């Protein structure tokens, strides 16, 4: 499991610029997938060979100035709970502000590595001005210029050195299914319905479960680990609807799962927060099953399921090959179907296809529909194979990989889905030089 590093601080100190700087090398690769600009505040990066997840809290604060302070305090508290290291960013131009002091007060009590980073230090005069940040009582600070990246190397060396070594979790052979979704969508009720005992106390207050709990599930001939993220937090701390919270909580569970069961409340629909979690799972190349919960409470006519499903598929395009199951955790309607579907998606994700079979199917197909010529040059695809990765990735070997554009890769992906069932699983198609 990778470490989580959170960037905190008041608005406009340059958190997002800094975040984008660190992520961009990776983002370029990660986001070659149909331009995922949807959730710009979470990413993976690595430094000196150590990979970690980075969360920019800045993207999640909304509200007027007076709300800002309360929101930022909440985010810092969440980051303190959840992250393995915290980057606290301040701005040399405005000096120490009251809000900076508030954040520093919260951070001084923490026994996790905290890095005070003074941003916008791009000349010697400003480097001298940075001295006043000693007043925050957080000890040494790092000076950086988010715009051109100077100083980030030293900072990252220190951050990576301070990250705790993650114990390799005993990888059991069992598939891991994570139940994710926004607070109050019915994740705990769903798990209780499955396990058949109220092991989690389910109440109407969002967030009564405290820790991501793994439950071994063994019924109806299925065996797997259930990872529950149901509203894990201390109620007193975090207001109902903090988007940052849902994402922060889901990150660990998703990164560590094989299949994500995304539970949403039928009455609230597939809103922004649910979409964020969906794209988080997609970007981590996990299997996905969408569970529309509380379906028993929805006023229905003969076509409501179809309409509802169509609306969701529209929002998750181009990755529309995802199973959607309408359930009710309360009446246990289609609970079993949900698990059956998750097991199928897991099997699709771990499916290995023989190279000979791939070539038999794809070479004639590609001959009939070759990639469009580019600048008068013809692309010839000679050979295709599946890569030995945990999730489905395919390499097509050709003479001019750089000329094969996204629409053709999508065509190949759709053909893969047509011939071999990859429902619920992101499929990656790479062009390689023969």
371-407: per-residue pLDDT in tens?
999 888 999 999 999 999 889 999 999 999 999 999 9
Question: Annotation-wise, does 191 bind a ligand?
Answer: no
What are the backbone angles phi and psi of residue 410, rounded to the nearest 5°? -65, -35
In DSSP notation, 260-326 reads: EEEEEETTT-S-HHHHHHHHHHHHTT-EEEEEEE-GGGS---TTHHHHHHHHHHHHHTT-----EEE
pLDDT 10s digits, 125-172: 899 999 999 999 998 999 998 667 788 889 999 999 998 886 655 555
* Cα–Cα distance measured from residue 6 to residue 112, given in angstroms and rounded to the nearest whole number: 12
Question: Annotation-wise, does 10 bind a ligand?
Answer: yes
Q: Which one, of 220, 216, 223, 227, lies nearest residue 188 by Cα?
A: 227
In the predicted structure, residue 39 carries a pLDDT above the cut 60: no
In what helix (H) or strand (E) does residue 119 lie, and over which residues does it extend? strand 114-119
In the predicted structure, residue 25 carries a pLDDT above the cut 90: no
pTM beyond 0.75: no
* Cα–Cα distance measured from residue 309 to residue 301, given in angstroms and rounded to the nearest whole number: 14
In DSSP notation, 351-383 reads: ----HHHHHHHHHHHHHHSPPPPBTTBPP-EEE
In DSSP notation, 191-255 reads: HHHHHTS--S---SSS--B-S-EEEEEEETTEEEEEEE-TTBS-TTTS-TT-HHHHHHHHHHHHH
Question: Annotation-wise, does 184 bind a ligand?
Answer: yes
pLDDT 10s digits, 163-218: 888 665 555 578 889 999 887 788 878 888 887 765 544 444 444 343 455 677 77
pLDDT at 342: 94
The tokens of 194 are what? 């499955």
Question: Annotation-wise, does 313 bind a ligand?
Answer: no
Question: Annotation-wise, does 34 bind a ligand?
Answer: no
Give counts: helices (H), strands (E), the chain: 12, 15
pLDDT 10s digits, 237-292: 444 445 566 666 678 788 888 999 999 999 998 988 788 889 889 988 999 999 99
Question: Annotation-wise, does 39 bind a ligand?
Answer: no
250: preceding bond cis by omega (within 30 degrees) = no
Question: Annotation-wise, does 294 bind a ligand?
Answer: yes
Question: Annotation-wise, does 339 bind a ligand?
Answer: no
Question: Annotation-wise, does 47 bind a ligand?
Answer: no
Question: Annotation-wise, does 15 bind a ligand?
Answer: yes
Question: Annotation-wise, does 175 bind a ligand?
Answer: no
Question: Annotation-wise, does 182 bind a ligand?
Answer: yes
Q: For residue 115, what are the β-bridge partners?
A: 87
Question: Annotation-wise, does 62 bind a ligand?
Answer: no
Question: Annotation-wise, does 16 bind a ligand?
Answer: yes
In the predicted structure, residue 422 carries a pLDDT above the cut 90: yes
* Cα–Cα distance measured from residue 323 to residue 425, given in angstroms and rounded to the nearest whole number: 10
Other C-beta atoms closer than 10 Å to the C-beta of 69 total 15
Please, are residues 210 and 234 in contact by the beta-carbon 8 Å criterion? yes
* Cα–Cα distance measured from residue 129 to residue 28, given in angstroms and rounded to the nearest whole number: 35
Question: Annotation-wise, does 43 bind a ligand?
Answer: no
Report the range of poorest mean pLDDT among 226-230, 342-346, 371-375, 426-430: 226-230
Question: Annotation-wise, does 195 bind a ligand?
Answer: no
What are the backbone angles phi and psi of residue 260, rounded to the nearest 5°? -105, 125
pLDDT at 26: 44
Question: Annotation-wise, does 421 bind a ligand?
Answer: no
The tokens of 140 are what? 């040494």
pLDDT at 38: 37
Question: Annotation-wise, does 57 bind a ligand?
Answer: yes
**DSSP β-ladder status, 176-180 and 222-228:** parallel
Report the alpha-carbon angle 329-330-335, nearest 5: 35
Question: Annotation-wise, does 296 bind a ligand?
Answer: yes
Burial 240-258 (b: 16+ CB within 10 A, else e): eebbbbbbbbbbbbbbbbb
pLDDT at 365: 95
Q: What is the CA radius of gyration of the chain?
A: 24
Question: Annotation-wise, does 59 bind a ligand?
Answer: yes
pLDDT at 109: 86
Question: Annotation-wise, does 295 bind a ligand?
Answer: yes
Sheet holding 176-180, edge to edge: 213-219, 222-228, 176-180, 259-265, 287-293, 324-326
Question: Annotation-wise, does 123 bind a ligand?
Answer: no
Q: Which one, of 62, 85, 90, lies nearest residue 74 by Cα?
A: 62
* Cα–Cα distance measured from residue 87 to residue 21, given in angstroms and rounded to the nearest whole number: 14
Question: Annotation-wise, does 346 bind a ligand?
Answer: no
In what helix (H) or strand (E) does residue 69 lie, and over which residues does it extend? helix 65-82
């Amino acid at each position: 499991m990778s470490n989580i590093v959170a960037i905190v601080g008041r608005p406009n100190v340059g958190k997002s610029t800094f975040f984008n700087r660190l992520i961009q090398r990776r983002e370029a690769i990660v986001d070659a997938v149909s331009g995922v600009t949807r959730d710009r505040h979470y990413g993976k990066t690595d430094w000196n060979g150590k990979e970690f997840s980075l969360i920019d809290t800045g993207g999640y604060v909304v509200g007027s100035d007076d709300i800002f302070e309360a929101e930022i305090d909440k985010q810092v508290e969440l980051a303190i709970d959840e992250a393995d290291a915290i980057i606290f960013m301040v701005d040399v131009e405005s000096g120490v502000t009251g809000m900076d002091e508030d954040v520093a007060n919260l951070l001084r009590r923490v026994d996790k590595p905290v890095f005070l980073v003074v941003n916008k230090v791009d000349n010697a005069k400003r480097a001298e001005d940075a001295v006043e940040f000693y007043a925050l009582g957080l000890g040494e600070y790092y000076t950086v210029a988010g715009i051109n990246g100077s100083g980030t190397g030293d900072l990252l060396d220190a951050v990576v050195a301070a990250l705790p070594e993650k114990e390799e979790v005993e990888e059991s052979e069992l598939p891991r299914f994570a139940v994710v979704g926004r607070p109050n969508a019915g994740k705990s009720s769903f798990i209780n319905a499955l396990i058949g005992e109220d092991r989690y106390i389910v109440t109407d207050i969002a967030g009564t479960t405290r820790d991501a709990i793994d439950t071994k599930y063994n019924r109806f001939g299925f065996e797997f680990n259930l990872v529950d993220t149901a509203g894990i937090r201390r109620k007193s701390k975090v207001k109902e609807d903090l988007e940052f919270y849902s994402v922060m909580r889901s990150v660990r569970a998703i990164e560590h799962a094989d299949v994500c069961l995304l539970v949403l409340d039928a009455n609230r629909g597939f809103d922004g927060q649910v979409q964020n979690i969906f794209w988080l799972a997609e970007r981590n190349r996990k299997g996905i099953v969408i569970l529309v919960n509380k379906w028993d409470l929805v006023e229905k006519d003969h076509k409501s399921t179809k309409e509802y499903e169509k609306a969701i598929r529209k929002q998750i395009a181009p990755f529309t090959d995802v199973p959607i199951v309408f359930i009710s955790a309360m009446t246990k309607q289609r609970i079993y179907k949900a698990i059956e579907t998750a097991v199928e998606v897991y099997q699709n994700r771990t499916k290995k296809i023989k190279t000979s079979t791939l070539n038999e199917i794809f070479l004639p197909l590609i001959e009939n529909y070759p990639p469009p010529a580019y600048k008068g040059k013809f692309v010839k695809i000679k050979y295709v194979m599946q890569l030995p990765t945990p999730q489905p990735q395919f390499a097509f070997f050709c003479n001019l990989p750089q000329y094969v554009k996204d629409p053709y890769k999508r065509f190949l992906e759709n053909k893969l889905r047509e011939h071999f069932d990859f429902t619920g699983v992101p499929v990656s198609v790479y062009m390689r030089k023969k």
